[in-house]
Amino acid sequence: MSCLDCSCILRTRVESFGAEKHSEDSSSEDSADESAVFWSQSSRREDEQISWSSDVSHYDLQVEIGKGCNNVTSIYLARHLPTGTLVAVRITDLERCSEDHLKALQNEVTLSHAFRHPNIMTLWAVFTTGSWLWVISPFMAYSSAGHLLRTYFPDGMSEALIGNILFGAVSGLSYMHHHGYIHRSIKASHILISGDGLVYLSGLNHLYSLISSGQRLKAVYDFPQFSTSVLPWLSPELLRQDIYGYNVKSDIYSVGITACELANGRVPFQDMPRTQMLLQKLKGPPYCPWSVNTFPRSESRMKNSRSGIDSGIGESMTHTTASERLQTPPKTFSPAFHNLIELCLQQDPEKRPSARGLLSHAFFKQVKEQSKGSLLSLLSPAIQHTQSQIPVVHSSAAWSKSKCILTDEKERYWEF
């Protein structure tokens, strides 16, 4: 398969999985380059209907915010010049893509167009410019939950914030499972948060369908070509690769690991050699991965709140001396949160709850009752990008159909 074979699937019309019918503006444009691809859908900003074009001069690339797929994809913050809207632009060098990477791109584009759920990341436009694939999507002002951990919560988030983030992610996951798809890459960096506090599940390129020949399979046996960095989040049955296979309950295990990640600021098993990690997962951890005190922790760089729980960016950013940190009470979590993680990390997949069942867990009910404000109130002050704060690193006008140069920024915020 050549690098431009993805044009076939990009031209395929896909019906939405949503219960309601949506009218979409999809079009294709001919150009001198016969392999050029264009697909888009209109989006609404307040009372304004926006149509996205394949003209690269309409997108002013301003700063690189992420990398993906073995560095063949760069993600930029850009401004859509006709409307002034901030967008995320992902540019992939198709000539450097492997067949597996191309299949993943096809999968993501197709499913993003098919899924209709408020907690699943959507794509606004997809087109090719020469051998480069451009993907236009909403810009997430808060980046990912993983970025929030690295930047503002290195010792973990509060229960209220974790609950709000996980509820949105599991809601999107429940929708995927209902339609017969396994996500296979649930982690904090694949949970994006918009400037208005909405949670979106991304990382659709490794989704796998349980539907085959019109029948729903009880298990699948495909092992995705993951980067080794994602292994700590994967379930024991997926890693085991035996005759029993795995199903949607594999994602529930990943939700449990992600909950630990959000609570502690680090991922269980991440420092283990791969073989030891696999053995630990298969026999069950000899420690409780959700217990904060079991992790070897470096000296805290932030001061915890008076309650012992990091309550938000504003309070936790206060720097303290070592003696003050030693006097800070240890961070604790509620029994409901412990129970949620225990259920998700059950060795037997059948003992784990479904994504839909998980949404009715006491932990989420508890968080809803305790959280008086929205998710934005837990992230104050908001992370906003103004025109004066964004340095222009590359103008889209300089892109041609023959070649382009990707910048290499040290600080990146999104992971795909």
CATH number of domain containing 45: 3.30.200.20
**For residue 289, what pLDDT is reported?**
58
> Containing H/E element for 166?
helix 159-178
Q: How many CA atoms lie within 13 A of 386 on its CB side?
A: 3
Highest mean pLDDT among 201-210, 282-291, 407-416: 201-210
Highest mean pLDDT among 25-29, 138-142, 374-378: 138-142
In a domain, 300, yes or no: yes
| Mean pLDDT, rounded, for 309-324 | 34
Does 326 lie in the same domain as 217? yes
Q: Which residue has the tokens 């002050």?
A: 381
User: Across all residues in the chain, what is the average pLDDT?
Assistant: 75
> Containing H/E element for 369?
helix 362-370
Determine the Cα–Cα distance for residues 223 and 208; give it in Å rounded to an integer: 10
| Mean pLDDT, rounded, for 259-283 | 89
- What is the CATH classification number for the domain harbouring 330? 1.10.510.10
Residue 5: pLDDT above 50? no
> For residue range 392-404, what is the model confidence (pLDDT) as tens digits?
444 454 554 444 4
Determine the Cα–Cα distance for residues 250 and 233; give it in Å rounded to an integer: 10
Highest mean pLDDT among 58-72, 112-126, 303-317: 112-126
In a domain, 1, yes or no: no
Does 266 lie in the same domain as 196? yes
In a domain, 282, yes or no: yes
Number of separate domains in the chain? 2
In a domain, 236, yes or no: yes
Adjacent-strand bridge partners of 201? 120, 191
Does 241 lie in the same domain as 132? no
| Mean pLDDT, rounded, for 320-349 | 72
Does 164 lie in the same domain as 112? no
Does 390 lie in the same domain as 269? no
Q: Which residue has the tokens 């495909």?
A: 222
**More confident: 34 or 50:** 50
Does 344 lie in the same domain as 202? yes
Q: Domain range for residue 107?
A: 6-139+386-415
Does 155 lie in the same domain as 89? no
Lowest mean pLDDT among 50-64, 174-188, 320-334, 375-389: 320-334
Determine the Cα–Cα distance for residues 390 and 283; give it in Å rounded to an integer: 49
**For residue 110, what pLDDT is reported?**
83
Does 181 lie in the same domain as 204? yes
Does 224 lie in the same domain as 343? yes
**For residue 272, what pLDDT is reported?**
86
Sign of CA dihedral 108, 407, 28, 49: positive
Query: Which are the contacts of 98, defined by CB distance < 8 A and separation ≥ 6?
Result: none
Nearest alpha carbon to residue 170 among 252, 66, 76 = 252
Lowest mean pLDDT among 95-104, 159-168, 304-313: 304-313
Does 53 lie in the same domain as 154? no
Nearest alpha carbon to residue 165 among 182, 186, 151, 179 = 186
Nearest alpha carbon to residue 299 among 270, 319, 273, 271 = 319
Confidence band for 44, pLDDT divided at 50, 70 and 90: low
Name the phi and psi angles at 353, rounded to 5. Answer: -70, 160
- Calculate what percentage of the chain has a pLDDT beyond 70: 67
Q: How far is CA 246 from CA 209, 225, 249, in A?
A: 12, 16, 7
Does 94 lie in the same domain as 205? no
Determine the Cα–Cα distance for residues 225 and 400; give it in Å rounded to an integer: 31
Does 318 lie in the same domain as 220? yes
